[in-house]
Amino acid sequence: MSFSDSSVYVHSHSGSYLSHIPHELFQVLGMHCIEMFVSDRRRQLSQLRRLLEELSDVLNSREGDS
What pLDDT shows up at residue 50?
96
Helix (H), strand (E), coil (C) string for 18-51: EECCCHHHHHHHHHHHHHHHHHHHHHHHHHHHHH
Angular region, 11: left φ>0, alpha ψ -120 to 50, beta rest: beta
What pLDDT shows up at residue 5?
44
- CA gap 8, 23 in Å, rounded: 6
Q: Sort strands 15-19 and 8-12 into parallel, antiparallel or unpaired.
A: antiparallel
Q: Kindly report the pTM of this predicted structure.
A: 0.47
Q: What is the pLDDT of residues 4-61, one digit of tens each?
A: 444 444 445 544 445 566 777 778 888 888 888 889 999 999 999 999 999 999 999 9
- The more confident residue out of 61 and 1 is 61
